Structure 1
């Protein structure tokens, strides 16, 4: 039962066909079931009223909103005294050759309260392969829509919109969304990897509920949808999912939005980032004898293009001990490289090319203090002995090092910079990125923490060319702000995103892998995420789980134990980057800054 401060909603899953009457009958049954469960809102999937055998069929049945098809659904809403989310409806366009994919919201009196026309259309043209142009028969929308309802402020989107986090950032931070609606008909191929990951990421980033109604199964001989309707809370937890052989699921909107938004507050940390400037496959395992739990394993990847490695470690309040651990991690990979050289002689065709070109170390690789003041005490300039020791390590190993974040001395004695330093194989500092997003939270009578009290925020986005592609460095909490990664990919042409982190155990369990895979999918970049792991002291513990993720969102590098110290290895395949970007050309479908300004008016 829903509590006094919760509201019940329902989400539908169905298999629409090329029969308007049959689909209406299905929807009518679902409405009755949702109404009997006490739902105030029922959400239907994209193409709820009709799925044609070909695109031209949808044009033929398209109607204006005052036509008999939509008016029938208005009657359903009125008779059930329930709001209906109907997306997307084949609305007649401005000419006979086009329709609008329109998400219609009806109130419980059967009135049309808002219409959102799908903004992002899927056009792809791969010479000699796939060609499809949604824009050839669909007119793109231009406006963002929000509407207050009995279940909170609703913000409608449609299907392919899900791949564009900037839309959802606008809905949350400019239009104060509470519930995001994502009716869809995702294909089976894309959904198996992307559907749940992207939906949960949208919930986590915006701290909104997400209701995703889904088409499911075979509509005809040519079209099949993935299904898997979901309701997700603002923490990113799936709280509603359809059991087998059922059609509607309802739940009380239990988790308090205010509690989540006050305990983890991206709104106050949300930056106008557009104004910033740019200054596996299954793997084989080789075990290495652990030294007091310090070095447990190295995970090897199969043969490909350019090799990278990601480290996992537990830094402590001892600079020398941490440097020794990092040195052993570098040597651990060098041993792995020699092993591969041996394979090249024995199995020349099957052997992977030896030698990582880049090793990524986690945030606070050089030091984790017992309290914030300890980090200030050890902070140094980049030409100081600590960083110069790591530069020597890079030079001696002939390998690039990603060192993030380093406690760099700030502009005064009371502040440091959390700096991601990239060192080349000659030991030269090639770039420095200073963490932009700082975590400040103050809950009256509860938790209070201000990273800004001892850390200066960075101001510049950085991208740098390297032997493993164009790198986009970030640090830890940055991961929650997709606009930074959008800038790195689409303005600065990043190919590999670096996310060194020290996530807490609580947030790591809920958000770490979801957000990393979402960043890879949205940007079509490799993501390398080095993680602190385990207990640093009596007060601090990190989640661990270092990952390497490919541009499709697949995890291709991971240690077998998320708390062990060691490295995972995988290959950067530039042809895969090109292939994913060609098959899913989201760069061509993104909207300009001016578009979002006008859409938000």
Structure 2
């Protein structure tokens, strides 16, 4: 647990999700419990934690209505059972188009109540001679940034929500304003991750002078898609405090208000902005 009221303990859960929904939920439950037992006050699941299908349309078949469905009910129960804030990396929710879903992060409090929602705004598209991936074929884009605040012991902690490909669009993070930590569930491909993942995460932390906690998929999936992994916590100076290369597991780290104040007073770049 944090040593004083100006600290907050977070955990990032890394998975190698499968096409089996129940199997993934069991893995998530086990890792969330382990993180909570180690003192985490909030745990973050990766993008597509509940299903990495054999084909992209598989997620459409398990989509849920907002506020109702077995995935949401199970995640809410996990938050309550472990008395923890829980960011459900991404869940497929119903979209206006019947053949698509919204790729949605939901946040639950220790009572199992939903307190925030963010629909992924930027949709990934990538193509080489041997690899092609186009999220817009099965996912509808969200339209509003997401954030939430937690109050512990009289201290507010502000969090920004984004998902995976959002990471490449710094204007989204500027639009969210000053936060203590940006939470970024992801399923970066191995191809893009090895070259860009760490650089982009550290850049978002440095330019916004805040912590960044990224929770990733990390390994070879049954659909033969390989994700990069490297879940990590980065401080406001851009230093990596903790990371997990590949495979399932979790990392933990502490947010510090004192560190945030130190960085922002030493180099008050946020106050120097002209645009």
SS in 2 for 1:203: helix
**Residues 3 and 252 of structure 1 are in contact (CA less than 8 Å); yes or no, is this contact kept in structure 2?**
no
Residues 350-499 of structure 1: pairs in structure 2 closer than 5 A: none
Per the normalisation by structure 2, the TM-score is: 0.92
Q: Does 1:271 align with 2:274?
A: yes
Task: Give the corresponding residue for 1:578.
Answer: none
- Could you tell me which of 103, 110, 120 is aligned with 1:118? 120
Gaps of 5+ in 2: none
- Cα RMSD between the aligned structures? 1.9
Task: Give the corresponding residue for 1:163.
Answer: 168
What is the rounded CA distance, in whole Å, between the counterparts of 1:184 and 1:49 in structure 2?
Answer: 13
**Residues 2 and 251 of structure 1 are in contact (CA less than 8 Å); yes or no, is this contact kept in structure 2?**
no
Task: Give the corresponding residue for 2:3.
Answer: 3
User: For each residue in 1:165-188, what CA deviation from the matched residue of structure 2 results, as whole angstroms up to 9, or x when unmatched?
Assistant: 11112123xxx3211011000111
**Residues 158 and 184 of structure 1 are in contact (CA less than 8 Å); yes or no, is this contact kept in structure 2?**
yes
Task: Give the corresponding residue for 1:261.
Answer: 264
What is the rounded CA distance, in whole Å, between the counterparts of 1:156 and 1:113 in structure 2?
Answer: 12
- Could you tell me which of 67, 71, 79 is aligned with 2:69? 67
What is the rounded CA distance, in whole Å, between the counterparts of 1:158 and 1:111 in structure 2?
Answer: 21
- Could you tell me which of 200, 203, 208 is aligned with 1:201? 203
Task: Give the corresponding residue for 1:49.
Answer: 50
What is the rounded CA distance, in whole Å, between the counterparts of 1:56 and 1:251 in structure 2?
Answer: 36
What is the rounded CA distance, in whole Å, between the counterparts of 2:19 and 2:214 in structure 1?
Answer: 22
CA displacement at 1:131 relative to structure 2: 5.2
CA displacement at 1:93 relative to structure 2: 1.3
Task: Give the corresponding residue for 1:12.
Answer: 13
**Residues 207 and 234 of structure 1 are in contact (CA less than 8 Å); yes or no, is this contact kept in structure 2?**
yes
What is the rounded CA distance, in whole Å, between the counterparts of 2:126 and 2:103 in structure 1?
Answer: 18
Q: Does 1:139 align with 2:140?
A: yes
CA displacement at 1:251 relative to structure 2: 2.0
Q: Does 1:40 align with 2:45?
A: no
Would the alpha carbon gap of residues 33 and 130 (structure 1) be closer, same or farther in structure 2, given more than 3 Å must change? closer
SS in 2 for 1:226: coil
SS in 2 for 1:222: coil
CA displacement at 1:240 relative to structure 2: 1.4
SS in 2 for 1:224: coil
Task: Give the corresponding residue for 2:31.
Answer: 30
The aligned length equals 268
Would the alpha carbon gap of residues 245 and 72 (structure 1) be closer, same or farther in structure 2, given more than 3 Å must change? closer
User: For each residue in 1:4-43, what CA deviation from the matched residue of structure 2 results, as whole angstroms up to 9, or x when unmatched?
Assistant: 1211111111111011110111011111111111111001
Would the alpha carbon gap of residues 69 and 229 (structure 1) be closer, same or farther in structure 2, given more than 3 Å must change? same
Would the alpha carbon gap of residues 244 and 220 (structure 1) be closer, same or farther in structure 2, given more than 3 Å must change? closer
**Residues 9 and 41 of structure 1 are in contact (CA less than 8 Å); yes or no, is this contact kept in structure 2?**
yes
**Residues 16 and 50 of structure 1 are in contact (CA less than 8 Å); yes or no, is this contact kept in structure 2?**
yes
**Residues 13 and 216 of structure 1 are in contact (CA less than 8 Å); yes or no, is this contact kept in structure 2?**
yes
**Residues 8 and 250 of structure 1 are in contact (CA less than 8 Å); yes or no, is this contact kept in structure 2?**
yes
CA displacement at 1:129 relative to structure 2: 7.4
Would the alpha carbon gap of residues 147 and 13 (structure 1) be closer, same or farther in structure 2, given more than 3 Å must change? same
SS in 2 for 1:217: coil
Q: Which protein, 1 or 2, shows the higher relative CO under an 8 Å CA cutoff with sep ≥ 6?
A: 2
User: For each residue in 1:493-529, what CA deviation from the matched residue of structure 2 results, as whole angstroms up to 9, or x when unmatched?
Assistant: xxxxxxxxxxxxxxxxxxxxxxxxxxxxxxxxxxxxx
What is the rounded CA distance, in whole Å, between the counterparts of 1:32 and 1:243 in structure 2?
Answer: 21
Would the alpha carbon gap of residues 239 and 125 (structure 1) be closer, same or farther in structure 2, given more than 3 Å must change? closer
**Residues 35 and 82 of structure 1 are in contact (CA less than 8 Å); yes or no, is this contact kept in structure 2?**
yes
User: For each residue in 1:34-91, what CA deviation from the matched residue of structure 2 results, as whole angstroms up to 9, or x when unmatched?
Assistant: 1111111001100011110111111111112311111110011011110011121111
Would the alpha carbon gap of residues 270 and 88 (structure 1) be closer, same or farther in structure 2, given more than 3 Å must change? same
**Residues 12 and 247 of structure 1 are in contact (CA less than 8 Å); yes or no, is this contact kept in structure 2?**
yes
CA displacement at 1:191 relative to structure 2: 0.9
**Residues 158 and 179 of structure 2 are in contact (CA less than 8 Å); yes or no, is this contact kept in structure 1?**
yes
CA displacement at 1:122 relative to structure 2: 2.0
CA displacement at 1:256 relative to structure 2: 1.9
- Could you tell me which of 162, 182, 188 is aligned with 1:186? 188
User: For each residue in 1:304-361, what CA deviation from the matched residue of structure 2 results, as whole angstroms up to 9, or x when unmatched?
Assistant: xxxxxxxxxxxxxxxxxxxxxxxxxxxxxxxxxxxxxxxxxxxxxxxxxxxxxxxxxx
Q: Does 1:215 align with 2:220?
A: no
Per the normalisation by structure 1, the TM-score is: 0.43
**Residues 228 and 246 of structure 2 are in contact (CA less than 8 Å); yes or no, is this contact kept in structure 1?**
no
Would the alpha carbon gap of residues 132 and 31 (structure 1) be closer, same or farther in structure 2, given more than 3 Å must change? closer
Would the alpha carbon gap of residues 243 and 186 (structure 1) be closer, same or farther in structure 2, given more than 3 Å must change? closer
CA displacement at 1:3 relative to structure 2: 2.0
Would the alpha carbon gap of residues 267 and 35 (structure 1) be closer, same or farther in structure 2, given more than 3 Å must change? same
Gaps of 5+ in 1: 273-601
Task: Give the corresponding residue for 2:105.
Answer: 103
